[in-house]
Amino acid sequence: MNIEDRNERYSYLHHLECGRCSKIYDADVPQGFCVCGAPLLARYDLKAVRNAIKPSEIAPRLPNLWRYHELLPVRLQESVVSFGEGMTPLTEMGEFGASLSLSRLFTKDEGLLPTGTFKARGAAVGISRAKELGIKRVAMPTNGNAGAAWASYAARAGMESLVVMPADAPEIARAECAIAGSRLYLVDGLIGDAGAISAGAVANQGYTDVSTLKEPYRLEGKKTMGLELYEQLGWRVPDVILYPTGGGVGLIGIYKALQECIELGWLVEKIPRLVAVQATGCAPIVKAWEQRAEASLAWENASTVAFGINVPKALGDFLVLQALYGSGGCAIAVTDDEILRSQSAVARMEGMFICPEGAACFAAVEKLSQSGWLNPTDEIVVINTGTGIKYPDTVQVEIPTLKKGASLPFE
């Protein structure tokens, strides 16, 4: 961590507020979600932040997400649990963009974070705040990567963790949880079934529920994607941001970050159009957006190769939809075949092995470009949420085997 004046105020967290009914909660005691069933959102004394810090003063800080500590919920620097997460690169995707006549296509590559996915952001902030609040045991259901991240950060913090995931979750994520010492269980079902089992441990065994949006602080870690992107572009924003959407916490977080920057007076231009990308095998947000609904309905028989976005009903779906409507964005679904083709195309053209969820966004870029929703001169950023190395089963190739001393065949 950056060594700063210990007398300096580290966080300007003020209170928690229900995202639906606006009920106020004390931020300095452990909180789950609102009595109305909606997620709680962290609110800051933004007037004090505006007086305390300017964007130019952030630049000299160490390149991790804690550089934005005034807008994060951890009160004391010594409470931070960190692997150095944050400041992932913004990489131009020139050849892939050129293939679609797009001149300004970029990806923010979250696959370079600790544990290999953007889930490290939420785990870093969530575990740090849990530690600060005196929480000793955390439990969660997961499709894989969130469990791996939270298990790792919990181990670093000296906390116990319990993780329940669907039996067909990626094996690498299982191994990450197990080696970090988490109590790991598999369930023959989807993430909702895992959540029911995890809830039992919360009710009966003294665990704190840290599942998606059932605690307020994972969202704050994900928010830093928006803050970083804004800073990396020279304190301006792109025209479009595409985000693979299951629970949608990252998209909600990016929108929240931009709204806070507007309130701070840092951002005066219009915000980017946000795009929620889902798979045709699980597209509740897309269906709700098409109907201009306030919330989604649970998707039946959900299935997709992009396992991280296989979420039939997100707790924060109404917040995702608010972000889409508020930014003038859209929601779009792509097929598994399109996802796998885009994953392969990005690897061939750009040399990047991205996760299937990130590949879904590149498939969406192609469809939105062809439809005219994207303009050739738009500045477009795809959030690649993880490294493809965690999904080896998405690559099916036949590799020839040669005998010792054999010559390579001519091509």
User: What are the pLDDT tens digits along the chain (411 aa)?
Assistant: 443 444 479 999 999 999 999 999 999 999 999 999 999 999 999 999 999 999 999 999 999 999 999 999 999 999 999 999 999 999 999 999 999 999 999 999 999 999 999 999 999 999 999 999 999 999 999 999 999 999 999 999 999 999 999 998 889 999 999 999 999 999 999 889 999 999 999 999 999 999 999 999 999 999 999 999 999 999 999 999 999 999 999 999 999 999 999 999 999 988 999 999 999 999 999 999 999 999 999 999 999 999 999 999 999 999 999 999 999 999 999 999 999 999 999 999 999 999 999 999 999 999 999 999 999 999 999 999 999 999 998 998 888 899 999 999 877
Helix %, strand %, coil % of the chain (to 5): 40, 15, 40
CA–CA distance, 258 with 240 (Å, rounded to integer):
13
Which of 144, 317, 316 is CA-nearest to residue 215? 316
Residue 397: per-residue pLDDT:
84
64-90 as b/e, with b when 16 or more CB fall inside 10 Å? bbbbbbbbbbbbebebbbbbebbbbee
CA–CA distance, 357 with 315 (Å, rounded to integer):
20
Question: Which pair of structure tokens corresponds to residue 116?
Answer: 């290999």
**Cβ-contact 361, 334 below 8 angstroms:** no
Q: Estimate to the nearest angstrom the gap between the alpha carbon of 111 and the chain centroid.
A: 11
Spatial CB neighbours of 145, under 8 Å, sequence gap ≥ 6: 115, 116, 117, 119, 170, 173, 308, 386, 390
Roughly what angle, to the nearest 10 degrees, separates helices 317-327 and 249-264?
Answer: 50
**Cβ-contact 251, 257 below 8 angstroms:** no
Question: Which pair of structure tokens corresponds to residue 379?
Answer: 């500045």
CA–CA distance, 164 with 183 (Å, rounded to integer):
8
**Cβ-contact 81, 131 below 8 angstroms:** yes
CA–CA distance, 41 with 256 (Å, rounded to integer):
9
Token pair 């209170």 is found at 15
- Edge-to-edge order in the sheet of strand 379-384: 90-92, 104-109, 379-384, 240-244, 273-279, 330-334
Cβ count near 410 (within 10 Å): 4
CA–CA distance, 79 with 85 (Å, rounded to integer):
15
Question: Which pair of structure tokens corresponds to residue 216?
Answer: 């307020």
Question: Which pair of structure tokens corresponds to residue 223?
Answer: 């928010």
**Cβ-contact 143, 310 below 8 angstroms:** yes
3-class SS of residue 8: coil
CA–CA distance, 71 with 55 (Å, rounded to integer):
12
Domains and CATH numbers, the chain: 90-116+216-394 (3.40.50.1100)
Torsion, Cα 397 403 406 408, to 10 degrees, reads 0
Roughly what angle, to the nearest 10 degrees, separates helices 145-157 and 119-132?
Answer: 40
Question: Based on C-alpha coordinates, what's the Rg of the chain?
Answer: 21
What distance, in Å, lies between the first and last C-alpha atoms of the chain?
Answer: 53
Residue 346: per-residue pLDDT:
98
How many residues are listed for the chain in this entry? 411
Question: Which pair of structure tokens corresponds to residue 205?
Answer: 């065994």
Question: Which pair of structure tokens corresponds to residue 218?
Answer: 């994972």
Residue 3: per-residue pLDDT:
37
Residue 396: per-residue pLDDT:
84
- What ranges make up the beta strands (E) of 195-329? 208-209, 240-244, 273-279
Q: Measured between alpha carbons, how far is residue 308 from residues 8, 23, 29, 151, 162 in Å?
A: 39, 31, 31, 17, 19
**Cβ-contact 67, 53 below 8 angstroms:** no
Residue 410: per-residue pLDDT:
78
Question: Which pair of structure tokens corresponds to residue 15?
Answer: 């209170």
Q: Tell me which H or E stretch contains 187.
A: strand 183-187
